[in-house]
Chains A and B, each alone.
Chain A
Amino acid sequence: AQSVTQLGSHVSVSEGALVLLRCNYSSSVPPYLFWYVQYPNQGLQLLLKYTSAATLVKGINGFEAEFKKSETSFHLTKPSAHMSDAAEYFCAVTKAAGNKLTFGGGTRVLVKP
């Protein structure tokens, strides 16, 4: 079985400050890991994915995440928050291509001016 834990259901950051969203996973096999963003009343947009290539993954909108096997983590960061980053972020894991995703509980990001 696989699972995902996102620490912190809400994160508040100031505009221009570092954004750090935490994700820990458990998986019986090497995982595929994803970060998605969801704006209100919309579907999910892929930010980035880890598929066993480089451990540091760069995504869209200035986000990046680092896969750390020893810590079973896949934390998402952005050096400088923008007001448009206010949204819900989901970490997800799957064990095989095309297989079902297991989502974390989500982290809502609030960006203060």
Chain B
Amino acid sequence: GAVVSQHPSWVICKSGTSVKIECRSLDFQATTMFWYRQFPKQSLMLMATSNEGSKATYEQGVEKDKFLINHASLTLSTLTVTSAHPEDSSFYICSAHDLAATSYNEQFFGPGTRLTVL
């Protein structure tokens, strides 16, 4: 149980295009999902917290108009990188918080999406 998937696992796009990344909780409901960004050989940096049915909360320094987050259901959150540029190339990881867990409900992480912008 507690599986989180991401799609696509990798994507290459041209500069100026938009890319959508999906994060799904496969066997549990998640009111909250988190989006992280990881540069090579660096730690994870939280970009935003995505809450089902409401606007995402962005961390300081993250452009909300560039990184659009939609959390339309309890099992799906999407991150759209708009007008992507080479500096947006990174590894994007999502995590989901299990709504039903009675003990401390850890976050379950997706496998990540490697974005390369040419």
Contacts and interface: CB of A to CB of B under 8 A. Distances in A.
Contact of B43 (A42, A45, A100, A105): A105
Nearest to B114: A41
B78 interface: no
Contacts, number: 51
Contacts of A101: 34, 46, 95, 107
Contacts of A108: 41
Contacts of A45: 109
Interface string B27-54: 0000110100000011111100100000
Nearest to B94: A43
A105 B109 CA distance: 18
A44 B109 CA distance: 6
B105 interface: yes
Interface of chain B, helix or strand or loop or mixed? strand
Interface residues of A, number: 22
Contacts of A46: 106, 108
B44 A103 contact: yes
A76 B48 CA distance: 28
Interface in A4-40: 32, 34, 36
A113 interface: no
* Residue of A32, A44, A51, A106 with highest tally of chain B CB at under 10 A: A44
Contacts of B108: 46
Interface of B: 4, 6, 31-32, 34, 41-46, 49, 91, 93, 95, 97, 103-112, 114
